[in-house]
Amino acid sequence: MWGRGLAAGLAACLLVGTPALAAAPAGPLPVETWARLPAMDHVSVSPSGERLAFVAFDGKGRKLFVRDLAGKPLAVMDLAGAKVSSVTWAGDRLVLIGVSKPSRLSMSMRLTEQSTVFSLNVETGKIVQMFAAGVKAWDVVFGRHGVAEENGRWVGYFSTFEQKRNLTGEVDFVDYNPDLFRIDLETSDIDLVNRGDSNTSDWLVRDGVVVARLNYDEVNGRWSLTAGTTARVLAQGEATLGEVSLAGFGHDRTTAALVVADGEGRTVIEEIGLTDGATKVVSTSGDEVVMALADRRDRTLIGYLPDDVTPRAVLFDADRQAKAWKALKPFLAKRPVIVSSSADQDRMILQTDGGDDSGSFWLVDLKAGKADPLGEVYPRITPSRVGPSRLFSYKAADGLALDGVLTLPPGREAKGLPVVVLPHGGPESRDRLGFDWMAQAFAARGYAVIQPNFRGSSGRGRAFRDKGFGQWGRAMQTDLSDALAALAAEGIVDPKRACIVGASYGGYAAVAGVTLQNGLYRCSASFAGLFDLGAMMADTRPRSAGMRYWKAFMGAGNVGAISPTAAAGKADAPVLLIHGKDDVVVPYEQSSAMAAALRRAGKPVELVTLDSGDHWLTDEASRVAMLSAIVAFVEKHNPAN
């Protein structure tokens, strides 16, 4: 699976200094500058608050750097092109690095994104991979269920598939139900803790013992929380769309915290007694929960993020909330987010990216009363390069109140501008104020960029999300053109000089904008879009939460009526399709089928294939190729000057 190449490439050594970046080039920024991966990312402070770990470039590649607060380098780990998904600490000595890659468990299975975890001892330089031996278990981490210090050793609880090998070393048995293992984070020695079954989705472990297990039946949408490794049910319910998750332990670790839908259709956090099953809602009345916040060290619930237009955190402990507010308050104009903190919350890592800030990391020391800059996310994009952005409100044709983000070219009058409509993916997602590298790349070339939060988006509760059900290619689509019309009525944009661009669901909406709709856009560009909805449904497991979710959004009728492949003959503008071969979310065949349909209809289309591109554009070469192709295409068919 992962092989020795990656593990061998993840070598630790001492570093003389912090990586330096070349000065920004003079004159207009080339397109590739906007598409570069973050120069600094995954910044994490150790529990003591004395050590920092982060991913950055050193001029030769992306590496994990570890140093103390005085700047003394402790170690650097060559990431060898690996896609890093997380950087966390186990104590002050061990850094856990989550990485992933597209792969198949077997030749008969669909391409999926598979993960593993490496542990780096920053004092000895030793690196171990979880499940590296591959004797008892598959070398893939399917779930992370907490870390703990037990008998002086740091251990992690991870789930994967059990496997057995024959005398020749070949795998002759794989149990495709996830099982829970305990792993020594310094030696990678593993022990089976509990066998899962086809319905097991998570475990809760305290003092080395499983105290609860969450089960979800994909077929009927029923969930249950059972005590320990028994079948005794503590709580149960229905979540037909799969909207149930185990956040971790409750406040005093005698309860389990679940994120579930209540009887009124709101998403709430419930604490369930681990002995008696007593249940109480702990999220604030009126709030809907978009994400639970749990301590990464012991999975204890500390608060949640409400599903709100303005990002904010609700923390249960008054002292913790006060410290968080004290850290955030000086940065409110820059959309600050706490990304890591010491165990006592006296030191925190903040990330900002508001106003003309293209992204910065800060170390806030509350006791010292200071905040020190750690690095910039996009150091080549200086404040003068960042176009102004603001929220705007408008109404859909049926009167529904909507909003969106408008980004304008820097130093240009907001009047009669050429425009790019840039719908988000998901579709259950949301565009917010903050630095958006793709929107800013277009704004830098003279375009206004409209990012509408159409019905079905997140940020305004489940009721607003549910208004998108049955509206793919219908009201969700016209919500986009209604935003264009609203800003045109204000004189800000020229509706006759508009293109539509998007990725994933946004890619669908971009092509639907010139097939299911007509007369609106000069061109349409999609990255990783989906266009044959029938094929997508056929590729989804039947009688599953995923299938019920897509049916809810797409409607109960014939999906061919809202599939751009079926409407290719109606295309009234040139189309650009870009798709990566490593996409595990939307198959590459979706774009190749759309290109074939347009060619059969005699319509202008370009198909750009990224051999190593994934759905999230984590590969810089693919990201640069994608943005370069889309910008050139838009400038060709809808020049800004």
**pLDDT value for 52:** 97
- Measured between alpha carbons, how far is 266 from 285 in angstroms, rounded to an integer? 10
Q: Are strands 605-610 and 575-580 parallel, antiparallel or unpaired?
A: parallel
Average pLDDT (487-503) is 98
Inter-residue contact 425 to 504 (CB < 8 Å):
yes
CATH code for residues 389-637: 3.40.50.1820
Question: Beta-carbon neighbour count of residue 89 at 10 Å?
Answer: 26
Calculate the average pLDDT of the chain. 89
SS3 assignment, position 487: helix
Closest CA relative to residue 86, chosen from 144, 54, 125, 42: 42
- For the segment 190-227, what is each residue's pLDDT rounded down to a tens digit? 999 999 998 999 999 999 999 999 999 999 999 999 99
Q: Are strands 360-365 and 370-376 parallel, antiparallel or unpaired?
A: antiparallel
Chain-centre distance for alpha carbon 61: 23
Chain-centre distance for alpha carbon 539: 22
User: Over pLDDT 70: what percentage of the chain?
Assistant: 92
- Measured between alpha carbons, how far is 73 from 67 in angstroms, rounded to an integer? 4
Closest CA relative to residue 524, chosen from 603, 456, 617: 603
**pLDDT value for 20:** 46
**pLDDT value for 27:** 52
- Measured between alpha carbons, how far is 505 from 487 in angstroms, rounded to an integer? 23
- Measured between alpha carbons, how far is 198 from 71 in angstroms, rounded to an integer? 48
CATH 3.40.50.1820 maps onto the chain at 389-637
SS3 assignment, position 250: coil
Total-model pTM: 0.91
**pLDDT value for 168:** 59
- Measured between alpha carbons, how far is 45 from 88 in angstroms, rounded to an integer? 8
| Between 234 and 288, residue with greater pLDDT | 234
pLDDT over threshold 50, residue 22: no
Could you say which DSSP state residue 194 is in?
Answer: E
pLDDT over threshold 60, residue 375: yes
- For the segment 222-240, what is each residue's pLDDT rounded down to a tens digit? 999 999 999 999 999 998 8
- Measured between alpha carbons, how far is 622 from 597 in angstroms, rounded to an integer? 25
**Residues pairing with 89 in the sheet:** 95
Q: Which of the residue ranges 307-311, 324-328, 348-352, 546-550 would you say has the lowest mean pLDDT?
A: 307-311
**pLDDT value for 88:** 95
Closest CA relative to residue 389, chosen from 404, 415, 408: 408
Inter-residue contact 454 to 544 (CB < 8 Å):
no
**pLDDT value for 106:** 58
Residue 252: pLDDT band (50, 70, 90) is confident
